[in-house]
């Protein structure tokens, strides 16, 4: 046994070269490096939780510090009161909605209340991150089932958070992620402003600049506006993957997850015939098996018998966890409002907000040098010509 941060080589091995974080947690994080020791991939219990509640009787100053800590914990729990809707899923109440209408990404570390949510819902602590990141990295090297283009903490943590720090599940996810990229290279080709404008101007995909009342991102699909004769389903996948890759740069999004609204008004048999088994498989991969995202809820609006025919193809492929995140509202927007308040919805759904074509969202955020740098790491090279084409 040795403590993370004890020596330079040990620090590098256990924390992936993140020296600053290792110094921060060196008093908390003990890493077991004996080959014969069993690794717990599901969850590493925080060793500091019990210490936070120990009552010291040695001195008045220690008693005062303990009382302050308990008061802080109570305040934290008050800040994290859940605003459970009919889905019974815990959410943050009175989430801080900074820069509500600004088209930007928040690349900073999540605020304390979000990290507390991560601890409660994902089992994430500094100790867990320090140990599981190294175990995850070791598993990728040892099994050799994929060759990630990145192995830094910021990239790997997305897969761990998407699978609640279950290392085996995270490894399966990253293998599926790279298999999907290899099987469908056209989906990961460079962003094309002309193609994106088609989808955006047809109002098929919308990405609001604001978040929900609980701090989650929204994506809105209107498949009835899609003309399969104008562009194939692969174009929708390409746009979706681009949006998700960019959105997942936000650490808080990795933790909180996102919400999608599928408005199925005006879908026809032409759309149904376009959903081939290959398209169904690709949709399942993006939503469930091959992308490091946390889906909080999928809301279905204005469904018809055509949707029933399409859904019959997908339903057997969805596990119980994903089925529990599906909510069908028909044209009853008040039912939707039980999950997302009208203050955080477009006017078309009984809300008060304006809409934003998704290509304008991309047009704005690719002006940020930090975002361009991160996109380059993902394989999206944003040239001057691409930036000019979006202007």
Look up residue 319 and give its two tokens.
């596990």
pLDDT at 105: 82
Pairing of strands 295-301, 326-330: parallel
Using alpha carbons, list the distances in angstroms from residue 34 to 1, 2, 192, 340: 7, 10, 50, 49
- The segments of the chain whose pLDDT lies below 50 read 1-90, 93-99
pLDDT at 101: 57
Give 258's strand partners. 217, 295
Look-up: residue for tokens 């060759």? 147
* Of 195, 198, 244, residue with least CA distance to 225: 198
Measured distance CA(275)–CA(278) in Å, rounded: 8
Measured distance CA(37)–CA(306) in Å, rounded: 55
CA-based max dimension of the chain: 77
pLDDT at 2: 32
pLDDT at 49: 38
* Of 270, 265, 268, residue with least CA distance to 330: 265
Measured distance CA(131)–CA(157) in Å, rounded: 12
The contacts of residue 47 (CB under 8 Å, 6+ apart) are: 28, 30, 127
Q: Report which secondary-structure segment, H or E, holds 258.
A: strand 258-263
pLDDT at 388: 64
pLDDT at 318: 85
Q: Report which secondary-structure segment, H or E, holds 261.
A: strand 258-263
Rg, Å, the chain Cα set: 23
Collapsed DSSP state (helix, strand, coil) of residue 197: helix
The 10s digit of each residue's pLDDT in 308-362 is: 888 887 788 788 888 899 999 999 999 999 999 999 999 999 999 988 766 677 7
> Chain-centre distance of CA 6, in angstroms?
33
Q: Interior CA angle at 217 toward 276 and 153, to 5°?
A: 90
Q: Which domains does the chain have, with CATH numbers?
A: 112-183 (1.10.8.20), 184-390 (3.40.525.10)
* Of 120, 96, 297, residue with least CA distance to 214: 96
Contacts 24+ apart (CB under 8 A), 371-377: 371/105, 371/107, 371/246, 371/249, 374/107, 374/249, 375/245, 375/246, 377/150, 377/155
Q: Is 243 left (phi over 0), alpha (psi -120 to 50) or beta?
A: alpha
What's the predicted TM-score (pTM) here? Answer: 0.74
Whether the CB-CB separation of 238 and 193 falls below 8 Å is answered with: no
Look up residue 299 and give its two tokens.
């809301």
């Amino acid at each position: 046994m040795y403590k993370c941060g004890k020596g330079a080589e040990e620090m590098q091995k256990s924390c992936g070269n993140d020296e600053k974080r290792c110094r921060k947690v060196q008093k908390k994080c003990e890493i077991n490096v004996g080959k014969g020791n069993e690794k717990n991939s599901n969850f590493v219990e925080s060793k500091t939780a019990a210490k936070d509640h120990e009552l010291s009787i040695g001195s008045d100053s220690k008693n005062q510090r303990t009382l302050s800590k308990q008061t802080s914990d109570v305040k934290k729990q008050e800040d994290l009161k859940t605003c459970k809707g009919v889905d019974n899923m815990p959410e943050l109440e009175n989430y801080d909605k900074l820069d509500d209408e600004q088209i930007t990404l928040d690349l900073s570390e999540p605020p304390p209340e979000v990290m507390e949510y991560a601890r409660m819902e994902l089992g994430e602590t500094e100790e867990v991150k320090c140990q599981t990141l190294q175990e995850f990295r070791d598993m990728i090297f040892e099994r050799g089932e994929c060759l990630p283009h990145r192995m830094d903490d910021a990239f790997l943590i997305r897969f761990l958070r998407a699978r609640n720090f279950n290392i085996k599940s995270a490894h399966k996810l990253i293998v599926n992620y790279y298999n999907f990229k290899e099987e469908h290279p056209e989906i990961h080709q460079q962003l094309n402003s002309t193609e994106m404008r088609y989808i955006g101007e047809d109002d098929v995909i919308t990405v609001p600049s604001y978040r929900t009342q609980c701090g989650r991102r929204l994506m809105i699909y209107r498949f009835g506006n899609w003309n399969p004769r104008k562009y194939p389903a692969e174009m929708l996948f390409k746009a979706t993957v681009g949006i998700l890759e960019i959105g997942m740069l936000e650490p808080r999004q990795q933790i909180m997850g996102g919400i999608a609204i599928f408005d199925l008004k005006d879908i026809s048999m032409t759309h149904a015939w376009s959903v081939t088994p290959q398209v169904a498989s690709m949709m399942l991969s993006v939503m469930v098996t091959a992308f490091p995202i946390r889906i909080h809820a999928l809301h279905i609006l204005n469904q018809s018998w055509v949707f029933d025919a399409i859904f019959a193809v997908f339903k057997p492929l969805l596990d119980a966890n994903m089925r529990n995140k599906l909510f069908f509202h028909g044209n009853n927007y008040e039912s939707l409002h039980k999950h997302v308040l009208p203050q955080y919805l477009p006017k078309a759904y009984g809300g008060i907000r304006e809409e934003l074509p998704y290509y304008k969202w991309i047009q704005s955020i690719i002006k940020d040098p930090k975002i361009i740098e991160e996109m380059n790491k993902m394989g999206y090279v944003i040239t001057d010509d691409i930036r000019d084409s979006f202007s």
